[in-house]
Structure formats: C-alpha cells, structure tokens
Chains A and B, each alone.
Chain A
C-alpha cells in the first residue's frame, strides 16, 4: 500500500492508498521507502519547534491523526499579534513558505480566523502561485473565503464526505446553507451528523477550537532575525546583548522577575538549539542573566549558521520594582544570590546548598541541605538538653569503622585504629547516648543505641567516636561495633 506520494508521483497518476504492485505497474522506476508514522510525527514536532521563530504558539495539527490515509501532516501556528513583526500577514506567509522550501519541505499554507478554515484554505484553497493573499481569509471573512471549497475541506471522515457528495452538497457554502436539523437528519446516525456539524461550526468559528502549543509559550519573549547567519560564539554574545535589554524592560513593565530564561537559536538547516539558565530568586538584572548564559553558550553548535535567535522568559514570578535601599544589606543579599546563580549555572543544581536543622536525634539526620534561594521554613525547635556537648564541625557521610580496645561494658576506648594508624586515647568525655526516635526504629531499620565519646588522642587530635549497640545485650546482636563519626580538629 502506498502511504504517501510526492508531487511527481502524483502527476504520474499515483495516489496514496494504492497497492504497491499496481503502482509499480504504472511507474516502473518508483522509489519507495517504508512508512514510519512515529518518525513522521517526530519530524513534524521538530518542525513545529523550528516554527517557534515565527510565533511562540506552535502545535502539530492533530486533527488528521488516526484516519490513516493521510501522509501529509500539518502544523498549526497561532500568529495573533505576530504578523506585523514580519511586515504583515502576506509577508509572513511568504517568509514561512520560502524558509520551508529552503529546508526542502514542500508546503501549502492557509491563514484564517479559525484553525479549521486555515486547514481548508491550506489544502483546498486556490493555488498560490506566488500570491499568498489568495490563501488568506481576511479577518471576519472566513465564511466567504471557504464557501466555495469542497466539503472534504471540512476535515470530515471519508464516508461522511462521500455521503454529502451523493446528496449533491459539494461545497461548504451549500452545506452551511441548509438548516442544521435537516442536515443532521440526512446522516444514518446522530453521532455522524453531530460530528459534521461540529466540524462546520469549528471551521466557521461558531465553536472554539483551542490550539495546545507544543511548548508552553513564554511570559515574555524577545527575538532577533539576523541578516547573515552566525557561525561563532562572539556573534552569539552580541545577539544576547541585543536581546537582553528588551526582555528585562518587558519584565520590568509587567512587574515580573525571571526564574528561568532560555535562548532559542534557530539554525539555517532547520535545527533548533535551546539553552536555559535558572536563577535562585526572581531577577531582571540583565548583566547578571547575561553572565549566567556565558557558560552554557559554549556548547551551542551553530551548524551551518544561526539566522534567528529568541530569548524566552520561560518561568517568571512577580517581582516588586527594585528599590534603592539605604542600608547596605539588601544589596549584599542580592550579591550573594547573583553569586549562587553563577555557581549553579556552571556546576549544576545541587552544587551549592545551605544547611538547615531537622528535628531528628541522629546527627546525620539532624540537618539537610537546602537550595540557597529557598526561604527558610518555620522549623520545629527540639526541646534540647540544657548542656549539650559540643558537636564536631566535620562529619563523615558514612561513619568509618574502627578497631577499638575499650573498657567493658560502657567505658570509653583506650586504644583504637583508624585509617590504619593506632591511636592511644589520652582524654575522653562521654558517653552521650543518642537513640533513634521512638517512631523511627521500627521496620527493621537501624535502631541500635549509639554512645558517643569525645576523644583526644596522645597527639592532641580530636575525634567523635561512637559505639553502636551495647556489650552483653545478647548473642543475636553480636558485640558492639565502633565508628569514627566526626572530627573536632
């Protein structure tokens, strides 16, 4: 079966749905390739991403999925408010058509108030022949523009279109002229009649048909088309420097600050490169954001050149207008945020953190790392023992097991071997007993009692050791084990 044919094969009398043997008989030199619906879909999505250069609201047309006979996918672009950037609707159509042709994509375009009417104009509208106006329905004139088109242009199922034709209803205008109830009654089932009416209503704008964009449209966007494709990093920096002031100005006007920015680079060959940076706190400091991009732009591959770039503010938060403060601390706090963003941009999220106390007994669980921009949550204060022994300033992620000679049952160690060096204990304080919380020990998790000792060895080095378990607590648990958990210096 033929899934799709190109223009030349079509001119020779082939069409989709034909059996391969028949097609071969008709045209001996036919070149075929196996149809791959998933790859088609992916290709369309890539193209839709690339179309973001025209408008941020692009989607793959899903309305002709599923009825099998299509091989010609479509893209839907909502160009509301975009056309004037390209010199009007006709100029935009021209540019899209020219660029798609340049990529080797055969295309037909239609422009109308509704996706349905645009679909009809693109597929069944008059041949453009260099006059894109003929496929543009003037605002509010969608009905007249598609009235003369065949009923197939309504995106109907094949059998519905056949039925309409058999009834002598060949154009959209005629179908629309009939009373709705009588039109619906001509179909064998209520569902099919309803579907046809729904298609009609959508094409004529009586029924909304929202377009879900492939990528969420940004809150703010700044784009720059380049007369000459860019090939190097320096050009990219210059582009960024041109785009950033505009974006920060729009953010400021809307009282927003960016949490995530992305630079979209559209390549001549149809590829799209996206590089995003995130900030710890909403900001619209152009210099700072530009600096964050510095690291990520290193990896942009310009291919055969980048001919269009756009800066998207993908995630924004309300940000009050900046106020010059008399005290220096606000400025200082800002400086720390900027620093954190720079560090994170290069080293990856999670590289920088603050420590936040957690209401747990076990030292390793008593704190957690939080992202620096994170505002401190109101935290539970544990009722603390009045005189808590000092804690080490260094803690091992994993306590290191040691061999110990200690007084039995609960004396401090006398001698221990850590990292293959034997150390004689000179002074010891403790034990400080740390047990897991009553609710945490259940379920086979670590529930042994720990007795912590502060130790100074004969050379003056200080350790935080603990004994897991008790001596003589039973055969099943074996003898207690000892660990170094932290260092005092």
Chain B
C-alpha cells in the first residue's frame, strides 16, 4: 500500500516553496476518495486520470478536478420536457469533444425504440456537421427499455470505446451506481440523457440541467439562427459545487463559450459569479 501511495506528506512540505501543482493534488485526492480500488492497480494514469475541461472557467472551477472526470458518469436532462432536445444537443457536443480527445476510439450511442421515436434517430450528416464521422458512430437501438443500461454497461466495461452515450426513460439509483462503477472500471466516460428529468438521487459525478435560450442571429444573416445557446445548470458535482452558466456552442470549432450577454458585462454583479472567480485567484497566490 505504501508503495502505491504516490505522494507522502513528507514530500509535499518541502516542495511547497517551489511549485506545487495544486490541480494534480486535487485530482489525486479526488481519485483517492472516489475509487480506492483503482489505485491499487495501475489502471489510473492512462487517459483515465485526465479530467476534461469544458473550457468555461465558471463551470470548470466548480468541478473538483477542473474539468469533467473522463472515467465517470455524467447525466443531463432538459429543464422542462420541451428542453429534452437541448439536453441531447449538449450531450452530443460533449460526445464530439470527447471523441476528438480520444482520436481512435469508436463511440457507442444506445437508444431504445421509444427513445428514438421521442426525439428522432441519429442522423449521420448532422453528426458529420457536429464534427463526428458517422463511421465512428456505433448505434444501438434496443427493443426494450431495460436493455439500454445493460448495453451501456457492456460498452463501458469493454474498454474499447472513446465514450458511451445512452438515453434512458428513467434510471434508478442502483442502476446509476452500477453504470458509474462500470465507467470507472472501464476508464471510459459515460454520458446519460434522462428523459424523465433528473430524478431524486443518482450516482453520477455531475448532473446537468439544460435549457434552451434564444440565441443571437447569424453574423452573416440577420434573420437566420446563429450559435445555439443554453443555460447549463450544474445541479450536482461530487466534490464540487453547483454552478450555472449561459453558454454558446460553436460546432465548427467544437468549443463552448460564455454567452456574449454575460461575457460583455463589466463586473460580476452576482454572488454566484464572484464565487466562481475565487479558486483562480487562490491558485495564483500559491503559484507566486
């Protein structure tokens, strides 16, 4: 056990006057908290250890590792029933980013027949526009609703995929716990779209509530829709804190951006925005 413990308190002390990678420490602690079993083996460290930032400080700062854990379960649901497609689009954006981060992996998307009827089936040309080649997309359409989590778990444990996305009518706590464990074990990110809204409890590392917002016009065409804009509410983040942000998704660059109305504001008028800035300042002090 002592051999596998990477940093002892003795070694942290002297290095404090020099450079301490606070983010790496945090990551390590989070790993200790979350999956003690994984540390005993050598499974941590490949791509699993790398958290994956959204690129928005307000949200990344609220996450414990400065980004989404790449081996965890992340849930999203629409803020209302009509916002389901917006949540689906947000997860699609995450999926494309993750698939790009892991160059060679295929992507598995699990739907049930009912789920496909609800917001439509996946459309290849649209995914190509989002930046994911349809050839990398494995689509599973299960006849029964309960086969969807099963297939998701199989996909996560196979370790062969870059990311797994599933759509479920409803997921109980036990099932979500199982999926979270499978994601950690398979070192594969798991994205879950919940049609029933965010339920009372879940084992997901982060839970997002997504609402569509009226966007700006296309810069080259006054009347045409421009970038999609969502209000992302990080309802729960294990080891982090809730946060809300209005973002725009640019599918051509694959980036999130704080929506202009918020970014243009001169000062932070709300307590929420101020708290978001706090960790960055703290980091700067220690680094200096």
> Which A residues are closer than 8 A to B by beta carbons?
328-329, 332, 334-336, 338-340, 342-343, 346-348, 351-357, 363, 366-367, 369, 372, 376, 390-397, 421, 426-429, 454-456, 458-462, 486-489
Contact = CB atoms under 8 A, between A and B. Distances in A.
Interface stretch (B33-41, B50-58, B86-94, B278-286): B86-94
20 contacts: A329-B104, A332-B160, A335-B160, A352-B139, A353-B141, A355-B122, A392-B126, A393-B89, A393-B123, A394-B119, A394-B120, A394-B121, A394-B122, A396-B120, A427-B217, A429-B223, A459-B212, A461-B85, A487-B85, A489-B85
A460 B140 contact: no
A456 B120 CA distance: 18
A397 B122 CA distance: 10
Nearest to B156: A339
Contacts of B129: 390-391, 393
Contact of A357 (B125, B217, B221): B125
Contacts of A454: 224-225
Nearest to B218: A429
Contacts of A351: 140-143
B16 interface: no
A397 B154 contact: no
B211 to A, nearest CB: 8
A393 B92 contact: yes
Nearest to B231: A460
From DSSP, what is the main secondary structure of chain B's interface residues? mixed
Contacts, number: 180
Given A429-B221, A487-B85, A489-B85, A376 B135 contact: yes
B88 A489 contact: yes
A328 B108 CA distance: 19
B214 interface: yes
B120 A487 contact: yes
Interface residues of B, number: 59
A458 B89 contact: no
A392 B154 CA distance: 29
Given A352-B140, A427-B217, A393 B130 contact: yes
B182 to A, nearest CB: 13
Nearest to A456: B225
A340 B154 CA distance: 10
Nearest to A328: B104
Given A460-B228, A489-B88, A489-B90, A338 B158 contact: yes
A356 B223 contact: no
B124 interface: yes
A336 B106 contact: yes
B98 to A, nearest CB: 15
B166 to A, nearest CB: 12
B179 interface: no
B77 interface: no
Interface of B: 82-83, 85-86, 88-90, 92, 104-106, 108, 116-117, 119-130, 134-135, 137-143, 147, 150-151, 154-155, 158-161, 212-215, 217-218, 221, 223-226, 228-230, 251
A96 B92 CA distance: 63
B212 A461 contact: yes
Given A366-B125, A394-B121, A429-B221, A460 B147 contact: no
B226 to A, nearest CB: 8
A336 B82 contact: no
A390 B224 CA distance: 12
Contact of A488 (B89, B217, B223): B89
A18 to B, nearest CB: 58
Nearest to B102: A332
Given A390-B129, A429-B224, A487 B139 contact: no
Contacts of B126: 390-395, 486, 488
Given A427-B224, A429-B223, A393 B122 contact: yes
B168 to A, nearest CB: 16
B89 A391 contact: no
A347 B120 contact: no
